Amino acid sequence: MGNKVALLGWSLQAIESIQKTDRPFVVVSFPEFEQAAKDNAIDFVGWNFKEWNEQSNSLQLKALLDEFDVDFAVPLYEETVEWAGALNSIFRDDPRLLNRAYLFRNKAIMKRKALLAGLRVGLFEEVYTKQGVHDFMERLNEANLQLPGEEDAWVHLKPFSAAGTVGHKLLRTKDDIEEKVIDKDFPCMVESHLPGKEFSCEAFIHNGKIRFLNITEYVKLGYSNFVPAGPDLEAKRPLIRDAMERLVKSFGIEYGMIHPEWFLTEDNTLNFGEVACRIPGGHIFELIEKAHGFDPIQGLVLCSDPSATDEEVENFFPKQDIKDDQNYAGSVMVYPKPGRITKLQIPDELKEDSFFEDHTLYTPSEHKVSDEREGFGNHYGTVFFNGDDPDRMRELLRHYQDIDFYA
Amino acid sequence: MNKNSKKIPQGVRDKFRETLENFKQASPLLAETHKKKLLSSLDLLTDREDGMKFLYDHISELVDAGIFRDTMWDDPARLVPSLVGGTLKAGGQNTIVEILSELRLLAIANGSIKLKNFSAGKAKTFLEEALVSNIDLIFPDGSEEERLIDADTRKKISALFNFLTEQISVNKIKGRLAKELELICAQRPVVTDRVLEIISTVKNEIELSSENDDDRRLRYYVNAVYSPSEKTGELTVDEYRVYLNKARRKEIVHECEMLADTMHETGLATGYHAVHLNHVAHEGALVKLALGLDNVGKAELDKHKDFVTELIRTVIHPDTGRSCYGLAKLLERSLLSHQPVKSGLQRILGMKLHKDVEGNIRQSRQNSTLDPKHILTADCLSILGQPLGVGQGWNPTCQSARGISLWSSHAPGKLLNMVENAAKSNSLSMRFEGTVIKSDEQVLGLVKELDYNLDAVSIVLVPHLDKIYNEMMRRAANRYDDPHKWVNPAMYGHWIPTGFISAYDYLTNSIKEYEKFIRTFYITHHPEYNGGNNLAYPNPVGIFLTSSTGKLIGFHAVSILRVQRVKGQVRVFILNPNNEGRQRWQDDMRPTVAGNGERAGESSLPFHQFASRLYAFHFNQSDLEDLQSVDDEEVVKVTELAKNSWGESYQWLNQAGFAM
């Protein structure tokens, strides 16, 4: 078996990373990228991931990839996860791989699977109508022994398959259900609110074993995080690693990387949130590269390659989870407040801070920021930090996530 | 922050080195991504003066790495000094690249970068011109516009100019600055904000001695604005008002003479002029003196004394001081005796403005509390008095400015009527080929966000004219000839001649039958061939605008006002609505605004030079004589000039349509 990879999705970052290795590769993406690929001498297969039917399925795609002698596929975007599953099923002659890919694409099945593995999850249900959401909230209220006048239980509504926080709605009251939920949301999943501190893990898995486990500390979900986690959370690494291993085992993951989100409660239990099998958002890969010193895209591809040897994999990742002189890399994503924005204002003390690294904020031409957001919406740029003190890092992120960079 | 308080942190230098190396090594696919990262690493460096020095020391490495490649900064020969300020203020990475561009020019000027097509001398001149046209950025004054720039960008601009002025002393540009003032004033612009701003900066920031000639020239303008008479030099505008109330007649007469003199010499009228004119408004004899009227103007005043007094009392105010000059010139044009003008002004004085129009006028004069209607009337006086002083500001609306100027000259009644309609309804209608185009039914114009550095008449009209013009162009597109052929007569009026010829072929983006085009221009416009006739009306023509090195910048609209022999040379006199009648169109091709018989607001250049920039014009078909009678040598000369400048950007086709 060779080591040629098909990258599913057009990502300049991924192309650059893979070009730095000597691994042969093909990019599979929408036909509009074909010219750019040709101009830059990149092997390319044009494919519409949105079409899955008799004429457009993994068998056809596999046939196209065979012309390039491809050995395995790596998904780069949420939408390509099941395509990668289907292709790898054929490459490795293991039909269950495709089913595993579906696991990642349906949050309700995912939770059920986690529940079966003995992981703690919140109460959840698939719902098809607004009434279903009301009923679910009502049952939660009953379970909480709600008295008249007391607040309703919080309910999270999530589409089955969207990436990250897209389409996520938090419903705090029955009025919220009436105001925020629309017909287009259904069918979807509702779940009880999980208490605890949220964080994510990025586990690089090869041959069923976790070869490197990063813990990302969330300062504020969707806004700011840093890598690796500070000492308090790192102290829980054995507990986290144990839960991760159970997750990997029960999901049957052999090769690649997973990015689950967890909640750690004050009494030291872990609640499973959800898990994705693609490059995480929130600049986490950039932060991993800065903090741990390896290229995580290369790591992802290497771990996805069944022909890679244990030695290759071991040599690739750092020996220690946390270095003795560990540096912490953090980022704050900036969203302007709704309304009209005309200028960028960067506080002097930010740029003078020794932890400040750089920013990608751009100067707006005057326009209105819509107050309707999907997920966390498009952010307007990111401020990056780098430094040796996790407590100061957390403090900085907390401070700057509330600063208004646009006026 | 003290600029020397800290050294550039090692981390910042490392980051610069790392991102620069990544950019150098990036494949073409990723070059853009790495350029962004490199530019964002320059953010911290461009915040500080020692960072400027650091970048200056590395500029040739950055240039070699390709930081300007595939951008509009690529070729220094195409850059324009007056655009430097606007780009610097844009913020973000545009600001950073513009800063690098100036550092490259400095390196060229100092000889550390050598280019074939751009000499050290040119780079030095460019930087001096950039300093002069951005004098406000050298000495930030906290003006309204200044405040709109974000703090970060302001910091960068000031670091750049501090660095540049260490290399090129402000004293060295005094001569240029004086010349700048003289030439702007020679054009008698309606909007004088910029020239007043420069004068204010000179007064507050630059030490002037009385020995040096350049200093004396600058002093003259400072005095014209801040002490047009001895008394005004000692008093504020408010104190001056009090003084006038107590002054004896002899003193008042003296003030009249002094203020009128500086006003006519410079075209600048100030708050002092406004206060003074109000003080004497009731007495015709003193108004004549205060406005420095010629005999025609005096006769006109006698005829319309009551109305003039009313105009002064209602609309002349320190905030509208500049209109004192416009009023004087309007009277000298005898326009009040033209009934549509007088009644047009009366109607505007008495009308109710549309609230959006009111808002727009207020926005253009944020410091004034005057009734927008009065501001509008005052600016009507200026536009009518100084038809060639209309400018387009920073807007891409040369067509509209040209129209306002043309109507002010030849159809002032129609102009006031349009102002009234647009101000009342915030809409304007024009006929085009049998149908009516209403501006408020059109979505698109050339201007996205109007720059408000305009006179109030333009504020009221330009948004509508722009949309109507755009719609006419759309309707006339794809007709196998330049759409201006149909649009100009509809837009500007029936006096546009029916003949039309264009050298530019819209369909193939090429130049066709250029020889015929040039011969036609000579036959119809050159006095040696057209029987020495002058133009009856301005001719709206299209030109290729070129940079100081002759490179094509774009299409531009100007009007030919007249063609005349001056000092043995036939020259074309034009109105250039881009506020700047004297840009350099190639090495030795510089339109002049004074010294060659120009009237205020005109610019001129030799006939063959102008011909070499032309691409479309109207003509009287009855003027067409034998094209072959035009001197062959002259045609060759013009063609050479054209081909060696903007012509390099196009393919040239001969009569049969083959490439030449």
pLDDT given at position B319: 95
- Same domain as B163, residue B181: no
Yes or no, beta carbons of A345 and B27 under 8 Å apart: no
pLDDT confidence bin for B385, thresholds 50/70/90: very high
User: Quick check: is B314 in a domain?
Assistant: no
Yes or no, beta carbons of A359 and B90 under 8 Å apart: no
Amino acid at B212: N
pLDDT given at position A374: 40
First to last CA, chain B: 61
- The side-by-side arrangement of strands in the sheet containing B569-575 is B499-502, B614-619, B539-546, B552-566, B569-575, B603-606
User: Quick check: is B294 in a domain?
Assistant: no
Nearest by CB to B43, from A12, A342, A358: name it: A358
pLDDT given at position A341: 66
pLDDT above 90 covers a percentage of chain B that reads 64
- For an interface test with B, the pick among A16, A354, A405 (most B C-beta atoms closer than 10 Å) comes out as A16
- Rg of chain A over Cα atoms, rounded to whole angstroms, equals 22
- Same domain as B423, residue B406: yes
Tell me which residue of B136, B153, B161 sits closest to B88, measured CA to CA.
B153
Query: Mean pLDDT throughout B372-381?
Result: 97
pLDDT given at position B143: 52
Name the domain boundary from B168, B187, B209: B168
pLDDT given at position B140: 66
User: Quick check: is B3 in a domain?
Assistant: no
Query: B581-625 pLDDT, tens per residue?
Result: 667 788 788 899 989 999 999 999 999 999 999 999 999 988 888
- Same domain as B183, residue B148: no
Nearest by CB to B150, from A12, A344, A360: name it: A344
Query: Mean pLDDT throughout B214-226?
Result: 94
Amino acid at B489: P
pLDDT given at position B148: 65
Closest Cα in chain A to B90: A363
A349 touching B (Cβ < 8 Å): no
User: Coil, strand, or helix at residue B619?
Assistant: strand
Task: Measure A156 CA to nearest chain B CA, in Å.
Answer: 37
Pairing assessment for the beta strands A25-29 and A5-8 based on DSSP bridges: parallel
Instruction: Please check the confidence at residue B375 and state whether its pLDDT lies above 90.
Output: yes
Yes or no, beta carbons of A351 and B44 under 8 Å apart: yes
pLDDT given at position B580: 64
- For an interface test with B, the pick among A43, A283, A345, A346 (most B C-beta atoms closer than 10 Å) comes out as A346
User: Quick check: is B637 in a domain?
Assistant: yes
ipTM over 0.90: no
Yes or no, beta carbons of B150 and A39 under 8 Å apart: no
pLDDT given at position B584: 74
Task: Measure A38 CA to nearest chain B CA, in Å.
Answer: 11
> CB B44: neighbour CB atoms within 10 A?
21
Closest Cα in chain B to A13: B30
Nearest by CB to B150, from A13, A36, A363: name it: A363
User: Quick check: is B211 in a domain?
Assistant: yes
pLDDT in tens, chain A (407 residues): 579 999 999 998 899 999 999 999 999 999 999 999 998 899 999 999 988 777 778 889 999 999 999 999 999 988 888 899 999 999 999 888 878 887 788 888 888 999 988 898 988 889 999 999 999 999 999 888 888 888 888 898 888 876 666 677 888 888 989 888 888 888 888 989 888 889 999 999 999 999 999 999 999 888 899 999 999 999 999 999 999 999 999 999 999 999 999 999 888 889 999 898 888 887 999 999 999 999 999 999 999 999 999 999 999 999 999 998 999 999 998 887 766 666 777 888 888 888 998 888 876 554 444 444 343 445 678 899 999 999 999 999 999 988 888 77
B36 touching A (Cβ < 8 Å): yes
Amino acid at B316: I
Which residues on chain B are in Cβ contact (under 8 Å) with A343? 91, 148-150
Give me the domain span that covers residue B363. 352-475
- Same domain as B539, residue B403: no
Task: Measure A82 CA to nearest chain B CA, in Å.
Answer: 28
Comparing B226 with A372, the larger pLDDT belongs to B226
Task: Measure A40 CA to nearest chain B CA, in Å.
Answer: 6
C-alpha span between A343 and A406 (Å, rounded)? 6
A346 touching B (Cβ < 8 Å): yes
User: Quick check: is B39 in a domain?
Assistant: yes
- For an interface test with B, the pick among A343, A350, A366 (most B C-beta atoms closer than 10 Å) comes out as A343
Name the domain boundary from B140, B168, B196: B168
C-alpha span between B586 and B245 (Å, rounded)? 55
Task: Measure A352 CA to nearest chain B CA, in Å.
Answer: 9
Q: Which residues contact B238 (CB under 8 A, 6 or more apart)?
A: none
Yes or no, beta carbons of A40 and B150 under 8 Å apart: no
**Domains held by chain B: number:** 4
B47 touching A (Cβ < 8 Å): yes
User: Quick check: is B481 in a domain?
Assistant: no
What are phi and psi for residue B612, nearest 5 degrees? -75, -10
Yes or no, beta carbons of A363 and B153 under 8 Å apart: yes
What is the Cβ-side half-sphere exposure of residue A50, based on CA atoms within 13 angstroms? 2
C-alpha span between B51 and B159 (Å, rounded)? 9
User: To the nearest whole number, what is the mean pLDDT of chain B?
Assistant: 90
Query: Mean pLDDT throughout B227-241?
Result: 95
Closest Cα in chain B to A38: B29
Using CB atoms and an 8 Å cut-off, which of residues 449-488 of chain B contact chain A? 449
pLDDT given at position A342: 66
Yes or no, beta carbons of B152 and A366 under 8 Å apart: no
Instruction: Please check the confidence at residue B655 and state whether its pLDDT lies above 70.
Output: no
pLDDT above 70 covers a percentage of chain B that reads 95
Using CB atoms and an 8 Å cut-off, which of residues 117-156 of chain B contact chain A? 148-153
User: Quick check: is B161 in a domain?
Assistant: yes
Yes or no, beta carbons of A344 and B149 under 8 Å apart: no
Which residues on chain B are in Cβ contact (under 8 Å) with A344? 91-92, 150, 152
Q: Which residues contact A331 (CB under 8 A, 6 or more apart)?
A: A224, A225, A226, A282, A283, A286, A287, A382, A383, A384, A385, A397
Q: Which of A240-244, B1-5, B236-240 has the lowest mean pLDDT?
A: B1-5
Q: Which residues contact A378 (CB under 8 A, 6 or more apart)?
A: none
Which residues on chain A are in Cβ contact (under 8 Å) with B148? 342-343
- Same domain as B533, residue B419: no
A289's tokens:
């590269």
Which residues on chain A are in Cβ contact (under 8 Å) with B47? 351
> CB B121: neighbour CB atoms within 10 A?
10
- Same domain as B158, residue B192: no
B87 touching A (Cβ < 8 Å): no
Instruction: Please check the confidence at residue B284 and state whether its pLDDT lies above 50.
Output: yes
Name the domain boundary from B168, B200, B234: B168
What is the Cβ-side half-sphere exposure of residue A313, based on CA atoms within 13 angstroms? 22
- Cα four-point dihedral sign B456, B460, B462, B465: negative
Q: What does the DSSP 8-state code read for residue B659? A: B
Tell me which residue of B74, B86, B144, B154 sits closest to B115, measured CA to CA.
B74
pLDDT given at position A1: 59
Closest Cα in chain A to B91: A363
Query: Mean pLDDT throughout B225-251?
Result: 95
Using CB atoms and an 8 Å cut-off, which of residues 16-45 of chain A contact chain B? 16, 19, 36, 39-40, 42
- Same domain as B450, residue B397: yes
pLDDT confidence bin for B448, thresholds 50/70/90: low
Yes or no, beta carbons of B148 and A343 under 8 Å apart: yes
- Same domain as B93, residue B193: no
Task: Measure B20 CA to nearest chain A CA, in Å.
Answer: 15
- Same domain as B115, residue B23: yes
B2 touching A (Cβ < 8 Å): no
Tell me which residue of B9, B36, B152 sits closest to A386, measured CA to CA.
B9
Query: B466-512 pLDDT, tens per residue?
Result: 999 999 999 998 888 889 999 999 999 888 998 999 999 887 889 98
- Same domain as B97, residue B62: yes
Q: What does the DSSP 8-state code read for residue B598? A: P
pLDDT given at position B638: 95
Query: B110-165 pLDDT, tens per residue?
Result: 999 999 889 999 999 899 989 888 877 777 655 555 666 777 888 899 899 989 98
Comparing B355 with B7, the larger pLDDT belongs to B355
- Same domain as B183, residue B161: no
Which residues on chain A are in Cβ contact (under 8 Å) with B40? 358-360
pLDDT confidence bin for B446, thresholds 50/70/90: low
Which residues on chain B are in Cβ contact (under 8 Å) with A12? 29-30, 33
Pairing assessment for the beta strands B651-653 and B510-512 based on DSSP bridges: parallel
B40 touching A (Cβ < 8 Å): yes
Using CB atoms and an 8 Å cut-off, which of residues 436-455 of chain B contact chain A? 449
pLDDT given at position B145: 58
Nearest by CB to A346, from B93, B94, B152: name it: B152
- Same domain as B463, residue B423: yes
